[in-house]
Structure 1
């Protein structure tokens, strides 16, 4: 069974619902507890190129709470998991530990992909973050977004690239399912996932064409770094990529999900997509020859309407109701879901998502009822922790 791990970025907010630059202070507390990494430690490791610690089985070990680009953020990472039950337990545990660390400095954490209330982002200290702000100007200064990255194990780069070539057309559906950023700078953007729009300001972000071989993939990464535009391989922000550290495919298109169970469903779908793609490759099924421009448009449409409008159906290239496209995704990966024992949980979770909507739906509902965007943040804090 393929293993899976999840990384989530969380907003640090005060009791009034305003993001506050207390992430580094919370991480100092977490580091003393053996649960986190300080900004200085994180920066030193990134600058030196140190490999992360691993346990006896080669799985990531060490701190699970780490800094992000802005001081109003904390990132968590789960351990390597074999079951969705483990993923759920890990996410609940580390959301709770991040919240406990934030509470010691008078804050909470919220799984929001953007801030509903106006905020001035504060860059995190450290040479690499300073280089990013200097190199990318307003893009780096303004961005305060929280995503979710799902890692799924692959045998090697050959299998990994075959997977990337075959999952790319389905990734916009994952953006729609996790849409959780309708507000920006105090106003409704009209998007379900405005994070996906902001994120694509980075020069290396977005979908790719079919690679076909590991050599072609690595040549593109090398050529991008050689331009001197992106600082290093870590800034190659493809929608899905090979991890530079672990033998995994990393899917990066999703907003951080407001509810833990929605993140668990996402992890199950990504694992099933990877397994389905690997089986197709082994069976000689060619990758869909869909141009990157069309995948980008499908991603834009998913960010615009989320689950409330039409999505681009990867099978036809034409618009179809979101529920219909989600059902098509389930049928595409159903054998893999069944073989991992994930089918019942994922199908039930998707039915619930389609019934009540994503985090964007809840945010807009609270805003409509209260007229208070700070109340949206407070409701998100409660939902982040299962209340």
Structure 2
């Protein structure tokens, strides 16, 4: 049985020139289903928990098409901006979306524009809390692979930063040290300690690559939330990344021994050091980076590790009926993620502004093409995906 999947999509609003403009106050006021972030320049929408990938495709596209239509009515060439950082400028000022919110005040004063980023958070439903904690341990060790696939923020303030994911390089991971939780009880105890110490302001203030999630954290948990991914604007690429994550979790649920605390030759402390370093290495070079495998610490190219994982999960994905959504990963491995494509264009002489402007138009075109066949039957969606790989 396929697991439930839900996405939190953060995206910038702005002009076709690439200038990012804060419009979330108006969007949240006028459109249902959208929520504000502390800075008004990005806005978030969330898809409901869904089992099937064809319905998830529809749930990704419909709010975005609605938002595009709304922005077009505001005039001034307002649109949606791809990428996960303030690529062309704007890091000098924090534009508060809700001046009366004390938590937003804390975020602005503590982190500033380091948190003014756009991303995709992937939530996968797992009802058994101990299985959920095991899932978090496994995905914590493999989260850099998903960052490598999704990296889309090589520019900041109009400059090349030296990172494929400038977002994850600068985003303030909080608290600074997050353990591999050995059990649900361990997670509850640790969370309560952080709240007492003030290293977390509330139960949501756990900003790590992956975390357990639920309606009454830390007690009532029902899903894994992968937070490391940069914004992926192509819906088919995004579905493929979600499918890889679900297939890996299905594989884990079928194999009780698939747990870093059981299968690794490294100590828990060594695993945490390895995970943190892999995240930073993936932020620098994404698919070009050299990572270290959690099983034994050996060096392995990110692209090679993803290819191994892709082959490993194929049987489970086929058994569960969604293997047809994985092939766009091969296109990313072959042609590069958005960050690599942007950097390639930059090396050929294009300016950062031209690259972002062309990406704005490309993203809009991709959405329009998919919207023509919105909410396809599963078999037709499969054919559409395979034809684009």
Do they fold alike, i.e. is TM over 0.5? yes
> Does the C-alpha gap of structure 1 residues 139 and 284 become closer, same or farther in structure 2, counting only changes over 3 Å?
closer
Q: How far apart in 2 are the matches of 1:269 and 1:18?
A: 34
For each residue in 1:135-177, what CA deviation from the matched residue of structure 2 results, as whole angstroms up to 9, or x when unmatched?
A: 6635234432111111111123122112112222111100100
Matched, 1:125 2:98: yes
Q: Deviations over 1:303-347 (max 9, x none)?
A: 11011343333444233233211112223433331222222321x
C-alpha distance 171-283 of structure 1, shift in aligned 2 (>3 A): closer
| Long gaps (5+) in structure 1 | 31-35, 37-62
Aligned to 1:216: 186
CA distance in 1, matches of 2:98, 2:19: 21
SS of residue matched to 1:82: coil
Give the whole-Å Cα distance in 2 for the aligned partners of 1:336 and 1:299: 27
**290-299 or 360-369, larger mean C-alpha shift:** 360-369
Match of 2:167 in 1: 195
Q: CA deviation at 1:271?
A: 1.2
Root mean square deviation of aligned Cα: 2.3
Of 223, 226, 231, the match for 1:248: 223
Is structure 2 residue 335 aligned with structure 1 residue 356? yes
Paired with 1:283 and 1:374, the residues of 2 have a C-alpha distance of: 45
The residue number in structure 1 matching 2:86 is 115
CA-to-partner distance for each residue in 1:195-233, whole Å, 9 max, x for gaps? 11111x243267x43322110011111111111232200
Partner secondary structure for residue 300 of structure 2: strand
Matches within 5 A, 1:167-186: 167-186=139-158
CA distance in 2: counterparts of 1:150 and 1:238, whole angstroms: 13
- Matched ranges for 1:39-188 at <5 A: 63=33, 65-106=34-75, 107-119=78-90, 120-128=93-101, 130-134=102-106, 137=109, 139-188=111-160
The separation in 2 between residues aligned to 1:70 and 1:197, in whole angstroms, is 19
8 Å contact kept, 1:156–1:247: yes
Alpha-carbon separation, structure 1, partners of 2:88 and 2:286: 21
CA distance in 2, matches of 1:284, 1:10: 34
Please name the residue that 1:226 is paired with.
Answer: 196
1:298 and 2:299 aligned:
no
For the 8 Å contact 2:173–2:208, the answer to whether it is kept is no
Change in CA separation of 1:325 and 1:236 when aligned onto 2, cut-off 3 Å:
same
Q: Which residue matches 2:306?
A: 326
Inter-partner Cα distance in structure 1 for 2:317 and 2:152:
25
Partner of 1:5, secondary structure, is strand
Cα distance in 1 between the residues matched to 2:314 and 2:176: 29
Question: C-alpha distance in 1, partners of 2:189/2:276?
Answer: 22
Q: Indicate conservation of the 8 Å contact 1:161/1:211, yes or no.
A: yes
Q: Which residue of 2 aligns with 1:7?
A: 8
Equivalents in 2 of 1:79, 1:312: separation in Å? 35
1:2 partner SS: coil
In the other structure, the counterpart of 2:246 is: 271
How far off its partner does 1:369 sit? 5.0
CA gap of 1:168–1:229, structure 2 versus 1, over 3 A, is closer
- SS of the residue corresponding to residue 229 of structure 2 reads strand
TM-fit CA distance, 1:282:
7.1
C-alpha separation in 2, matches of 1:268 and 1:165? 19
CA contact (8 A) 1:182 1:193 kept: yes
Shift of the alpha carbon at 1:6?
1.0
The whole-number CA distance in structure 2 between the counterparts of 1:81 and 1:222 is 31
Cα distance in 2, alignment partners of residues 161 and 211 from structure 1 = 7
Match of 2:287, SS state, is coil
- 2:205 is matched with 235
SS of 1:70's partner is coil
Q: TM-score, normalised by structure 2?
A: 0.83
The CA distance in 2 between the partners of 1:386 and 1:337, in whole Å, is 30
Q: Give 3-state SS (helix, strand or coil) of 2:208's partner.
A: coil
2: distance between equivalents of 1:205 and 1:330? Answer: 31
TM-aligned CA deviation for residue 238 of structure 1: 2.5
Q: Which runs of 5+ in 2 are unaligned?
A: 216-220, 367-389
